[in-house]
Amino acid sequence: MKSKTTELRVRYSETDQMQYVHHSNYAKYFEIARIEWLREAGISYKEMEEQGIILPVVNLLTEFKKPAKYDDVLTIKTSIKQIPTAKIIFTYEIYNQKGELLTTGESTLVFVDMKKNRPMKCPENILDIILKQKD
């Protein structure tokens, strides 16, 4: 699937005493990049929720290779790992401004019908949009 990139600058509040990004912030970075991937593809979280569909995260993997530091400009490369079924899996690569790979990650989200509170298949309209994102 097509990759999308998102840039952000590390804020001081996201770092520890060593000025390294605290590990808890990577889940937020992945969420920012995932939302932007969907938005650029033409999929709105807000509209999904209005249609009674939510996407809770059920699995999150992060592998730290090098630390991100205060004031670094990070580029997050986001892709979908496979064609969604009842779940959608995003992959992430985070690079600093020097192009060094700092972190990789993966998140698995499940399509859930809010009224039934049960997993559901990826809606056809969303699947069609995602399939158009193939490289």
DSSP string, 35-91: HHHHHHHT--HHHHHHTTEE--EEEEEEEESS--BTT-EEEEEEEE-S--SSEEEEE
Catalytic residue among 16, 71, 72, 113: 16
Q: Catalytic annotation on 16?
A: yes
Measured CA to CA, the distance from residue 107 to residue 100 in angstroms comes to 22
* Cβ within 8 Å of residue 93, ≥6 positions away: 76, 77, 101, 103, 104
Cite the active site residues.
16
